[in-house]
Structures are given as structure tokens and as C-alpha cells.
Amino acid sequence: MEPLEPRNEMVRVCSVPNEMEAAVVVGMLAEDGIVAATDSAPGSTIFGGLMFESGHHVLVPRSQVEKAKALLADHPHFRDIEDEPADS
């Protein structure tokens, strides 16, 4: 895979509470032709084995942010649009 051009810097478009929801959003965006990724990592166990997830971000190339915003606008639960670089 070729590296993304600077104009296609990955941008955070929404935050969700867990890995499963992140996968749903990535899949939903992919179905509409939007390249998407998540920073999901497996949750860790704390407090005697209870799962803990601190939230996950869904990322798209900057060139696809507007299209992603339009799609996510139809789903109020996923409207946390931040439009900022992934590494911030």
C-alpha cells in the first residue's frame, strides 16, 4: 500500500466508546466507498477481570472528511465530528 499524500492525512471523524462500535462505523463508511480505520486495540482487564475500554477513534483521509460527515449525520450516535489530525 502506498503512503497517503499529505492532503490525505488521516483525520479523526468520530469517537465511540468501544471496539465493536468502531468496527461498525468503519464498515458503514467502507460500504459508501470511504477509506476508514480505527485506533482500536483490545480492551484491558481491570478490577478483577472487568473489561475496560477508554474509547476509540475512527479515522478517514482528510479528502474524505466531508463525505464521512454527511454519512454520519444520518446516524446521531456517531456525530462526534472533530476534524483534527489523528496524531493530536
Q: What is the pTM of this model?
A: 0.69
pLDDT, one tens digit per residue, over 31-85 is 999 999 988 655 555 555 555 566 788 999 999 999 998 998 887 776 554 544 4
Q: Is 44 exposed, middle or buried (0-12, 13-18, 19+ CB in 10 A)?
A: exposed
Q: Is 50 exposed, middle or buried (0-12, 13-18, 19+ CB in 10 A)?
A: exposed
Mean pLDDT across 10-23: 86
- Give the per-residue pLDDT at 47: 53
Q: How far apart are CA 13 and CA 48, in angstroms?
A: 34
| CATH class of residue range 13-42+53-85 | alpha beta
More confident: 3 or 59: 59
